[in-house]
Structure 1
Amino acid sequence: MKGKIIGSRYKILEYLAEGGFGKTYLAEDTQLPGRDTCVVKQLHPSSQDPKFLAIARRLFQTEASTLHNLGHHQQIPKLLAYFEEDEKFYLVQQYIQGETLGKELDSGLIWSESQAIDLLRDGLNILKFVHGRGVIHRDVKPDNLIRCDLDGKVVLVDFGTVKEVLQGQQTNIGQLTVAVGTQGYMPTEQARGKPRPSSDLYALGMIAIQALTGIAPLDLPEDDDGEIIWESSANISRELAEILTTMTRYHFKDRYKLAHDVLQGLNKLSSARLTKAQSITSIQSCVLDRDLNNDLGDVSMSSTAKIKLVATSTIDRHDLPKTVSENCDQAVLPQEKIDSTTKHSRPQKTTPDKPKSKHIDRNIISLIVVFVFLALGGIGFFMINRTNSDSEIEPDLSKERMEQGEGFRKDL
């Protein structure tokens, strides 16, 4: 096929991949000035059975119709052309330059919580758009998600297995004799041929769990109810774990029903993370103020306000650095009471009353000094008065003694 021109304008450049229903090529549009690059999908079933061929043709037609009806979404490839030539069907669509998530996950690197949240947001915004137009993708998997080199956004491709939903009622595209979906990312109701919007949510949740744990979906253990066991293998917050668990419940009735519902949960999680970050910043500022003053009694009013903000927030002290947590415990003033309704749900240890702060001890010392000073002053005053009294009595005694001496001499 290399070098061949199909549809009188699309020149095949190289082979890209092959699936169950066809091959994919990289091509260029010879009728455009910039000879834009595009992707050409050729119907090439792996079986020549007439029934299988009819299914493949129907899926190709469905993909073309779906891409056309979805219009222009920045995270869905645009449909450029769809035609039949030499009894073969071709679908031409926008080329997305980037790598699939399958290659990213094959690297073995464990994703952070923020990376997983970004993936979920990208995927959920696409699915919200797709589901809102009555379409279920049915094959959301790492190889069908491409991270665009231009903006880092995730793009959903391969709409060949979509299922349309009209007026809330599921309508069969036809009695398929082949499995639609990918094991590990396909929930039980989809395997039975009854997919729902929550089926796509299940697949996206499984991709996020795989990214966070480094474990492929089929390798994850299950409990007796069919629920996957994975939380102990991921280092994430309890809130995100709850969201992913709800997305991947065994039974569709226990899952989120719409992408919008999951996005609301992520928004609440982001708000909680922002509040926690602000509280940690306030604590660090408070401790810095205390260290600069080098005396708890000199903590400024602004620092006290920050302490109160931290005390009444939902932040968990276990999320703080050890030194910050200890300093904050020392900084909270004894008279500040924390409403029990604002405390974190984690049980708090009771501690005995803390000793009085340093500025109270200094006041006591000051009182003792004043008392000693007054006592010494009183003693000094008493001694001065006694000295003066003695000086007044002494002249009288001398005069009396002189008079007695004169009398004695006269007698002689």
Structure 2
Amino acid sequence: MNRFSYKTTNPEYISQQTQLGQMCGSKQLFRDRYEVLRILGKGGFGITYLAKNAVLPGNSLCVIKQLCVKVTSHQSWQRACDRFEKEAKILGKLGSHSQIPLLLDYFQENGEFYLVQEYVQGCTLAQEVRRTGPKNETAVKQFLQELLPVLQYIHKHHVIHRDIKPQNLLHCQHDGRVVLIDFGAVKEQLVDTCENSINKTAFIGTMGFAPPEQFSLRPVYASDIYALGMTCLYLLTGKSPLEFDYDADTGEICWQKEVNISNNFVQVLGKMVKIPLCERFQTADDAIAALSKESLQTLTNCLTTQNLKNQTITTEDPQVYIPPVARTANAIRKWRARLKETKSHN
């Protein structure tokens, strides 16, 4: 195939016509190494395959992502190669994080770009909700506590994911960790090299989960926070963003009456999914701080609404094990007592 010839971005065409698609399910090896087993998913910018490395001991499984780019000149092809090389190296660095798939290889062949990544066995959060129903506040808070540090990590590497949603979050079957997959950064860089004007204005993301500035092709770090907030609403309700009613005046989705969560957590999620960018959390650090403050406030409220007389746990006996929550409660009690004593002396 002439690498500068016309190439469609239709994934159905790719699966039927390209070398990788034709090898799917056969014993023939791609690049003398990868046995392509089956299709994992299709999208507007390519197709993803499950494969195994037939050269390594144990035939370890991996994921091959074929990215489709239309170029018609040597200059645009070289520009696409340079951008792909740059973005692939960034993904390679990000893969050192335990919640991001490891990049195993990247290359271009016959005018197509390929990424080979670690295969994470498990199910997506979308599959979990469909199978077991919406999650409660505690579970969603735990999810946020796991994912916000991942956003913190990728943003410090100057990467915006661009497509956070339940389908791109996997619960690893082996250890239960939540893994973030399918970064949109490489897709966006390659689309920018296309000579076709339609491709140049292609939107990277998912309707409903992406905020307005992303539709204007100006994503920022806070765009990922918005998408993560929308993912939380999906986990709490089982509804995709497009299923919620919208306020005709502000454009905000009407979700508060759909959930049964504390007022403090409503405030945190509300700020994550604000339509105006200036009213949203600007960084993952801000969201982490707000969530930590919300958790502490919830604990404090629990302590002040219970009759704690004769229930105080003391730490005087070193032989008695004090759970972390109880230690925190004791610390709060002592702090409140010192504050009250200080005020009485003033």
**What TM bracket, shorter-length normalisation?**
0.7 to 0.9
**Alignment length (residue pairs):** 286
247, 257, 261: which is aligned to 1:232? 257
Letter in 1 for 2:281: Y
Quick one: structure 1 residues 251 and 23, their matched pair in 2 at CA, closer, same or farther if it must change by over 3 Å?
A: same
Contact 2:184 2:205 survives alignment (8 Å): no
Give the deviation of 1:250 after TM superposition. Answer: 0.8
Map Cα deviations across residues 46-68 of structure 1 (whole Å, 9 max, x no partner).
Answer: xx6859x9799788656523312
Is it true that 1:260 corresponds to 2:285 in the alignment?
yes
Give 2:131's match in structure 1, choosing from 82, 107, 117. 107
Q: Secondary structure at the match of 1:136?
A: coil
- Specify the SS of the correspondent of 2:153: helix
Q: Report what 2:37 is aligned to.
A: 13
Q: Give the one of 236, 245, 263 matched to 2:270.
A: 245
2:88 and 2:186 in contact (8 A); partners too? no
State yes or no: 1:92 paired with 2:116. Answer: yes
Corresponding position: 1:135 with 2:159: yes
Give percent identity, aligned residues only: 39
Report the counterpart of residue 233 of structure 2 in structure 1: 209
Residues 162-219 of structure 1: per-residue CA shift (max 9 Å, x gap): 5999xxxxxx955823111110011111100111100000000001012112222012
Structure 1 segment 160-239 matched on structure 2, within 5 A: 160-161=184-185, 176-223=200-247, 224-239=249-264
CA-to-aligned-CA distance 1:267-323 (integer Å, 9 cap, x gap): 112223333455567638559xxxxxxxxxxxxxxxxxx9xx69x79xxxxxxxxxx
Distance 1:213 1:231, change over 3 A: same
Q: Give per-residue Cα distances to partners, 1:310-349, cap 9 Å, x unaligned.
A: 9x79xxxxxxxxxxxxxxxxxxxxxxxx99x9xxxxxxxx
Could you tell me which runs of 5 or more consecutive residues in structure 1 were left unpaired when the two chains were aligned.
166-171, 288-305, 314-337, 342-412
Could you say what secondary structure the match of 2:225 adopts?
Answer: helix
**Separation in structure 2 between the aligned mates of residue 56 and residue 147 of structure 1, nearest angstrom:** 33
1:59, 1:252 → 2: CA distance?
28
Query: Which of residues 135, 150, 153 is equivalent to 2:177?
Result: 153
Give the distance between the partners of 1:75 and 1:218, measured in 2 at CA: 28
Q: State how far apart, in whole Å, the 1-side matches of 2:310 and 2:243 are.
A: 46
Question: For 1:281 and 1:103, how far apart are their aligned partners in 2?
Answer: 39
Map residues 278-357 of structure 1 onto 2, 5 A cutoff: 278=303, 283=308
Deviation at 1:105, TM superposition (A): 2.9
2 CA distance for matches of 1:130 and 1:272?
A: 29
Asked if 2 retains the 8 angstrom alpha-carbon contact of 1:222 and 1:229, the reply is yes
49, 59, 62: which one aligns with 1:35: 59
Match of 2:16? none
Contact 1:78 1:94 in 2 (8 A): yes
TM-score under structure 2 length normalisation: 0.73
Question: Is the radius of gyration larger for structure 1 or structure 2?
Answer: 1
Q: Secondary structure of 1:42's partner?
A: strand
Q: So what's the TM-score if we normalise by structure 1?
A: 0.62
2:47 paired residue among 23, 34, 37: 23
Q: CA contact under 8 A between 1:136 and 1:164: conserved in structure 2?
A: no
Provide, for residues 54-104 of structure 1, a one-character-per-residue CA deviation record: whole Å limited to 9, x for no partner: 799788656523312325000111110112234333211001111111212
Aligned to 2:105: 81
- Pair 1:210–1:201, CA change in 2 (3 A): same
Q: Which has the higher helix share?
A: 1
Decide whether aligned partners of structure 1 residues 262 and 151 sit closer, same or farther in structure 2, where only a CA change above 3 A counts. Answer: same
